[in-house]
């Protein structure tokens, strides 16, 4: 039986700030995971990763991460991606700072 | 304290300019990330989970107030107002922006600091005893030799592309506070029968995924032979070390696979070649360095104020009993400032706290500060009459926690809150353990207990040598914490033994509590430390406390 494809998002770090960013459907980068394009097709995932990896003046270390659909957009499935999406647990810095502002 | 020569200053500034150009070329697209990454790593700049991280070297953990104040200024101007002191006696900034890093490095260069060789497969910052030059049990201050090693290893052309990183630690005391046996080269100062100082040289120690206690390769190395001998060791490792497998590339594996005797023979042969090439210039340089590490002008004064405060102020007494160490000079003490306030992040200091500590060093401490591998800050030379005032100031800035060597004085790596390599979080586990034992009010009753937490197998948190070690792992997508017991990072170094299956994130604090209560139940007296009890009774009672009857069943089956 062919293995089922787990939905993916494309994520990377911002070149200037290092912050975690996500590729959106309209080819922009967002700092919020729930803005990311949830990719349900393996071939499309490969295309999107190549597109992301070519943006060498904007992003560093693009890769595909597992995700699942949620009421407000994609959600992380692995705890590492949860921490990347939410920021460090000990201070209101990074993503937590952004969350406090919005 | 060593002051940069014109040569040092020019070199460091040259490197800043070089890196400034490299960052510009990365930003304008002329360098790809693949090209830029090794360049930024050579300057201590990592890309971590949420941001860049700049690791700044604090050579052998020694600072003065000007340097500490500059670290505070950098934290305010280009980071988020704090810094993280590490188990390598360095400081890390967790939030620098790429375009700002050259300015940060320039600000460091102005006070004789840099981030060179804090990453990459080179000889890293030489670490040492945080009480060097002050400890009552010391043979000689190891820092002049550490500085000589720094000068020798910085930009050493032969050793810029070693099979893997290379760490040297040195202590001048028989009581090893620098974990020398867990380093690629460990140097312990000893005297020979004629009373001359030299070194016991250990090689192939290390933690990480294959923890090993360093092996003695030379019982007594004359002081004058140190550089050629270290060069011989690193040179043999450079040719013999494996480059086919990152996990087998450290010198501990080289020594293990080839055998200590073979390795020693190769080192001796290389040493015979190298020794004549060292004409004695290194010893002249060393003499110049030694003059810069002359002991401060200790003062004679009454310590009545200390005794009065000790009698009258319970908080001061508790702090003095816990955080002071014997100084070699009568009337003086070594003060350890705990960066482990209960519930705070181990090793973190705000810029305000850094300035307070710098000011205390300038006013009361002969302008010296140290960083320990246990992530605390030390005022090495304090006259006891100044201690009540120092304690008052520390207390006002959240720096008077009286827990040195106790269960809440936890070493913790940044873990998955910051580190891209981490497999689980360390910081919140440390925070919860410290808070729990503070709540129980039993940590002083427990006494000395070294608890160390790493958020991955690379063991930056030294969990292998913790009396209690915790290793955070990713088990099928869930954080899982393994416990090791009986580790020891001192001269009686030992690697802790895994006690059994790991615990979930919300089970780890209660598990540690069960271990500690078991110890309190079975210790022979309050003087028997946790480690002594473990050595006396072994793991069985702790396994029973952790796993209940199931553990007994497993033991029978085995």
Instruction: Evaluate whether B310 touches B322 at the Cβ level (below 8 Å).
Output: no
φ, ψ for residue B26 (rounded to 5)? -65, -45
d(CA B304, CA B309): 9
Say yes or no: B47 contacts chain A, CB-CB below 8 A: yes
Interface predicted TM-score (ipTM)? 0.96
**Best residue in B22, B29, B45, B50 to probe A by mutation, most A CBs within 10 Å?**
B50
Give the per-residue pLDDT at B554.
Answer: 54
Say yes or no: B51 contacts chain A, CB-CB below 8 A: yes
Mapped to the 3 state alphabet, what secondary structure does B181-215 carry?
HHCCEEEEEEECCCCCEEEEEEECCECCCCCECCE
Q: Is residue B310 exposed (0-12), middle (13-18) or buried (19+ Cβ within 10 Å)?
A: middle
Say yes or no: A6 contacts chain B, CB-CB below 8 A: no
How confident is residue B558, by pLDDT bands cut at 50, 70 and 90?
A: very low
Q: State yes or no: pLDDT of B557 exceeds 50.
A: no
Mean pLDDT across A60-80? 97
Contacts for A14 with CB less than 8 Å, ≥ 6 apart:
A20, A21, A29, A31, A58, A59, A60
Nearest to B47 among A61, A79, A80 (CB): A61
Give the per-residue pLDDT at A100.
Answer: 75
> What separation, in Å, do the N-terminal and C-terminal C-alpha atoms of chain A show?
45
Contacts of A83 in chain B (CB under 8 A): 49, 416-417, 425
How confident is residue A3, by pLDDT bands cut at 50, 70 and 90?
A: confident
Give the per-residue pLDDT at A4.
Answer: 87
Say yes or no: B504 contacts chain A, CB-CB below 8 A: no
d(CA B135, CA B200): 19
Mean pLDDT across A66-71? 97
Mean pLDDT across B260-277? 98
d(CA B413, CA B418): 9
d(CA A94, CA B95): 8
Contacts for B555 with CB less than 8 Å, ≥ 6 apart:
B540, B543
Say yes or no: B80 contacts chain A, CB-CB below 8 A: yes
Q: State yes or no: pLDDT of B319 exceeds 60.
A: yes
Mean pLDDT across B474-491? 97
Alpha helix stretches (DSSP H) within B245-350? 251-258, 260-274, 281-292, 304-312, 314-323
Q: What is the pLDDT of residues B506-519, one digit of tens each?
A: 999 999 999 999 99
d(CA B152, CA B498): 39
d(CA B287, CA B367): 22
d(CA B501, CA B249): 29
Percent of chain B residues past pLDDT 90, beyond the cut: 97
Mean pLDDT across B219-243? 97
Q: What is the pLDDT of residues B441-459, one digit of tens each?
A: 999 999 999 999 999 999 9
> What separation, in Å, do the N-terminal and C-terminal C-alpha atoms of chain B show?
57
Q: How far is A82 from chain B (nearest CA, A)?
A: 11
Instruction: Evaluate whether B60 touches B132 at the Cβ level (below 8 Å).
Output: yes
Give, as one character, the DSSP assignment of residue B275.
G
Mean pLDDT across B291-296? 95
Instruction: Evaluate whether B159 touches B123 at the Cβ level (below 8 Å).
Output: yes
Say yes or no: A61 contacts chain B, CB-CB below 8 A: yes
Contacts of A94 in chain B (CB under 8 A): 50-51, 95
Give the per-residue pLDDT at A1.
Answer: 59
d(CA B61, CA B133): 12
d(CA A61, CA B271): 44
Alpha helix stretches (DSSP H) within B347-405? 351-364, 387-396
Say yes or no: B428 contacts chain A, CB-CB below 8 A: yes
CB spacing of B49 vs A78 below 8 angstroms: no
Q: State yes or no: pLDDT of B316 exceeds 80.
A: yes
Give the per-residue pLDDT at B537.
Answer: 98
- Mean pLDDT, chain B, as a whole number? 96
């Amino acid at each position: 039986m062919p293995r089922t494809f787990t939905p993916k998002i494309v994520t990377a770090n911002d070149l200037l700030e290092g912050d975690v960013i996500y590729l959106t459907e309209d080819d922009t980068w967002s700092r919020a995971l729930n803005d990311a394009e949830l990719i349900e097709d393996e071939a499309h995932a490969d295309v999107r990763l190549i597109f992301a990896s070519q943006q060498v003046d904007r992003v560093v270390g693009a890769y595909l991460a597992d995700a699942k659909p949620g009421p407000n957009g994609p959600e992380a499935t692995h705890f590492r991606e949860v921490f990347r999406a939410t920021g460090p647990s000990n201070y209101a810095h990074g993503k937590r700072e952004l969350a406090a502002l919005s | 304290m060593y002051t940069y020569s014109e040569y040092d200053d020019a070199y460091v500034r040259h490197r800043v300019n070089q890196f400034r150009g490299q960052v510009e070329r990365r930003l304008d697209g002329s360098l790809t990330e693949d090209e830029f990454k090794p360049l930024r790593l050579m300057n201590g700049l990592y890309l971590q989970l949420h941001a860049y991280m700049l690791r700044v070297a604090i050579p052998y953990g020694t600072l003065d107030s000007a340097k500490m104040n500059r670290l505070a200024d950098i934290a305010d101007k280009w980071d988020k107002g704090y810094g993280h002191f590490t188990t390598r006696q360095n400081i890390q900034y967790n939030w620098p922006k790429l375009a700002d890093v050259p300015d940060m490095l320039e600000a460091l260069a102005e006070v004789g600091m840099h981030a060179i060789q804090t990453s990459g497969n080179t000889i890293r910052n030489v670490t040492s005893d945080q009480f060097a030059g002050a400890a009552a049990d010391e043979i000689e201050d190891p820092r002049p030799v550490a500085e000589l090693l720094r000068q020798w290893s910085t930009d050493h052309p032969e050793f810029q592309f070693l099979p893997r990183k290379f760490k040297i630690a040195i202590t001048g005391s028989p009581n090893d506070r620098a974990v020398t046996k867990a380093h690629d080269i460990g140097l312990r100062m000893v005297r020979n029968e004629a009373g001359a100082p030299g070194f016991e040289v250990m090689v192939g120690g290390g933690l990480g995924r294959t923890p090993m206690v360093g092996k003695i390769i030379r019982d007594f190395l004359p002081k004058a032979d140190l550089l050629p001998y270290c060069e011989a060791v690193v040179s043999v490792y450079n040719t013999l070390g494996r480059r086919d497998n990152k996990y087998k590339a450290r010198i501990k594996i080289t020594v293990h696979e080839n055998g200590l005797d073979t390795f020693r023979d190769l080192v001796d042969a290389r040493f015979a070649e190298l020794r004549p090439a060292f004409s004695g210039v290194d010893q002249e340089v060393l003499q110049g360095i030694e003059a810069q590490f002359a002991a401060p002008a200790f003062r004679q004064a009454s310590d009545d104020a200390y005794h009065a405060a000790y009698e009258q102020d319970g908080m001061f007494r508790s702090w003095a009993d816990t955080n002071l160490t014997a100084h070699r000079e009568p009337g003086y003490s070594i003060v350890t400032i705990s960066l482990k306030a209960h519930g705070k992040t181990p090793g973190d200091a705000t810029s305000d706290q850094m300035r307070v500590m710098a000011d205390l060093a300038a006013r009361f401490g002969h302008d010296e500060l140290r960083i320990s591998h246990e992530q605390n800050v030390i005022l090495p030379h304090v006259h006891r009459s100044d201690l009540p005032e120092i304690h008052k100031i520390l207390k006002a800035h959240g720096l008077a926690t009286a827990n040195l060597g106790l269960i809440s004085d936890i070493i913790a790596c940044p873990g998955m809150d910051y580190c891209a390599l981490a497999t689980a979080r360390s910081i919140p586990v440390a925070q919860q353990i410290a808070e729990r034992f503070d709540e129980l009010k039993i940590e002083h009753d427990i006494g000395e207990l070294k608890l160390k937490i790493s958020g991955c197998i690379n063991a930056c948190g030294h969990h292998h040598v913790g009396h209690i070690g915790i290793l955070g792992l990713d088990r099928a997508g869930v954080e899982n914490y393994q416990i090791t017991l009986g580790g020891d990072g001192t001269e009686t170094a030992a690697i802790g033994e895994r006690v059994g299956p790991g615990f979930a994130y919300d089970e780890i604090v209660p598990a540690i509590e069960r271990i500690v209560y078991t110890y309190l139940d079975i210790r022979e007296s309050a003087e028997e430390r946790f480690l002594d009890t473990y050595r006396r009774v072994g793991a069985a009672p702790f396994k029973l406390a952790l796993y209940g009857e199931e553990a007994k069943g497993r033991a029978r089956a085995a």
